[in-house]
Amino acid sequence: MLRNKAIIAGAADSDVGKTPHMSGLALNAQAAQRALDDSGLSLDDVDGLITAYSMTEPYFMLGSVMAEYLGIEPTFCASLTVGGATPGAALHQAAMAIAAGEAHVVLITVGENRATGQSRNDAVKALSHVGHPAFEMPYGPIVPSFYALIAQRYMHEYGTTREQMAHVAVAAREHARQNPAAPAAKAIEVADVLASKPISEPLNLLDCCLISDAASAIVVTAPDRAGDLANPPAWLLGIGQCHTHEHVTMAKDLTQFGSATSGAAAYKMAGLGPADVDFAELYDCFTIVPIIEAEELGLAAKGAGGQLFESGESRIGGRLPINTHGGLLSYAQAGASGGMHAIVEAVRQLRGGEGLRQVAKHDIALVHTEGGVLSSHVTIILGRDAH
Amino acid sequence: MDDGAADLPAPYLSADAGPYWRAAQEDRLVMQLCYGCGSYRFFPGLLCPKCGSDEQVWGPCSGQGTVYSLTMVHRAPNPAFRSIAPYIVALIDLEEGPRMMANIVGADRLETAIGDRVKVCFEARGPEIKVPQFVRVGS
């Protein structure tokens, strides 16, 4: 039981977008330095390090490589690979290590130079390997195809519409345009999403996330440090995981996923329910995904996730602001970075003071990270205070 | 899909699936049938994910199925697939229970919809290997 046993003391992103002058390791180090500055702690305080993985710089032991690059000698170190759910899984590991007394200050850093570290075709090729080498890849799917199969079935069973999915992209872009750290981009309308280049039907180009250079880091520590930090911490109130498959072919059902289980575990640990959530940062690699997650996490009734976005309720200023930084769709996505940007944004929003994009009520945040093809799920509930 | 299919990629061959590919080479679809619980399973593996038994036989499948979901791919992953784009990637629920991915091939492939009845056919990927594919037989 990890409720109130760990706090996020610092959180920050690297520069995001296109940074051809920086390696993936450098982006991670920049994010780490900023997160430590944000916490008021230093590299000397760090005794635990967790990294994700890198497609552009595929070191065999990325955790050890990162420790070497940062010049630290942690006594707890790991590199994790659960795709987009890696930041959530890393936070879970860090909290367990801290609660067990096996580490006191854990730095988690994820991300890579996915935009400029390889050519666009290589990026598409590398990402395709989420597919099964014998029973999926010979049929020519790309990553969007796996999610398109889910979207098509979801539309068939629940009547979710292309327009509702487009609203997810439109809202993300609007939020990103209020985020000074987001890459500059023009506003888009539903019609722009529907008219953008078809990728794998029903997903068009603007239904798909960015491919960025980006890293993101958090500093996790024990509540006994809460008094000596540079900024108010975010409290880990609940966290839960569920891993049901890796390949889309093996998913039992394309309308029910492990997010319901991970969410229920997180709510139970926190002693909270969906009605307590003030704002949510949901994984949005493709526009269908946050619609499904909102339903699975109880933030919308089954089949009503699309309306949450179409109605404007998910906008900043709405009943339940979602993806207030712009998400993977319009802020940044680089390997495992997307979910960590969501955690960073949640920490900032909980503190308050985010200007134009600050949400009105900011006591309880829900973050959902997802990897594979809605395969691996980690749900996180963070609080401005202990609960 | 028929033209130039031999340039499309061959599957990765794992020891788990030897009988599957040998049967495909003879235009037969086979899957593991569990002695423990009587269920067909796919992907192939040592243990039955339903009951844990390691006793199984490779049993014939009818090759008849229904389209569970599909996507028309426009942005192909490599030049071989680009030459046949757009094409259909589908998930097919076989009569025997397992779900598998394949392309829908045939002249009317782009008309495929969820719920369509399909049957297996086989497509060469080089001289030594064939992959199961499906054609529509009714909607």
Per-residue pLDDT at A123: 64
Residues 167-226 of A with CB under 8 A from B: 197-203
Per-residue pLDDT at A128: 55
Lowest-pLDDT range of A17-26, A35-44, A111-120, A245-254: A111-120
Which string of DSSP letters, residue by residue, matches B20-65? HHHHHHTT--EEEEETTT--EESS--SS-TTT----EEEEE---EE
Note the CATH number of domain A140-210+235-383: 3.40.47.10
Closest-CA residue of A relative to B71 is A201
CA B39 – CA A61 distance, rounded (Å): 40
**pLDDT tens sequence across A313-369:** 999 999 999 999 999 999 999 999 999 999 999 999 999 999 999 999 999 999 999
Q: Name beta bridge partners: B73.
A: A200, B87
User: Is 50 exceeded by the pLDDT of residue B37?
Assistant: yes
Across chain B, mean pLDDT equals 94
Q: Name beta bridge partners: A200.
A: A203, B73
Per-residue pLDDT at A228: 87
- Residues in chain A closer than 8 A to B17 (CB atoms): 134
Please report, rounded to a whole number, the percentage of residues in chain B having pLDDT higher than 70.
96
CA A187 – CA A164 distance, rounded (Å): 17
ipTM of the complex: 0.96
Query: Hey, are the CB atoms on A124 and B77 less than 8 Å from each other?
Result: yes
Per-residue pLDDT at B5: 61
Query: Hey, are the CB atoms on A135 and B42 less than 8 Å from each other?
Result: yes
- Residues in chain B closer than 8 A to A133 (CB atoms): 11-12
- Residues in chain B closer than 8 A to A148 (CB atoms): 71
CA B85 – CA B81 distance, rounded (Å): 6
Domain map (residue ranges) of chain B: 13-138
Closest-CA residue of A relative to B104 is A139
User: Is 90 exceeded by the pLDDT of residue A158?
Assistant: yes
- Residues in chain A closer than 8 A to B73 (CB atoms): 140-142, 145, 200-201
User: Is 50 exceeded by the pLDDT of residue A14?
Assistant: yes
Query: Hey, are the CB atoms on B73 and A140 less than 8 Å from each other?
Result: yes
Domain map (residue ranges) of chain A: 7-117+211-234, 140-210+235-383
Q: How many CB atoms lie within 10 A of CB A129?
A: 11
CA A299 – CA A313 distance, rounded (Å): 11
Average pLDDT over residues B83-91: 97
Per CATH, A7-117+211-234 and A140-210+235-383 having the same topology is answered yes
Which string of DSSP letters, residue by residue, matches A328-339? IIII---TTHHH
User: Is 80 exceeded by the pLDDT of residue A122?
Assistant: no
Per-residue pLDDT at A129: 74
CA A298 – CA A82 distance, rounded (Å): 24
Across chain A, mean pLDDT equals 96
CB-closest option in B43, B76, B114 to A250? B43
Confidence of residue A118 (pLDDT cuts 50, 70, 90): confident
Q: Is A128 on the interface with B (CB under 8 A)?
A: yes
- Residues in chain A closer than 8 A to B10 (CB atoms): 138
**Is CATH 3.40.309.10 correct for A7-117+211-234?**
no
Confidence of residue B1 (pLDDT cuts 50, 70, 90): very low
Per-residue pLDDT at A369: 98
Note the CATH number of domain B13-138: 2.40.50.840
Per-residue pLDDT at B7: 86
Q: Name beta bridge partners: A376.
A: A243, A371
Confidence of residue A126 (pLDDT cuts 50, 70, 90): low
Per-residue pLDDT at B3: 46
Q: Running DSSP on this structure, what letter comes out for residue A183? A: P
Closest-CA residue of A relative to B49 is A250
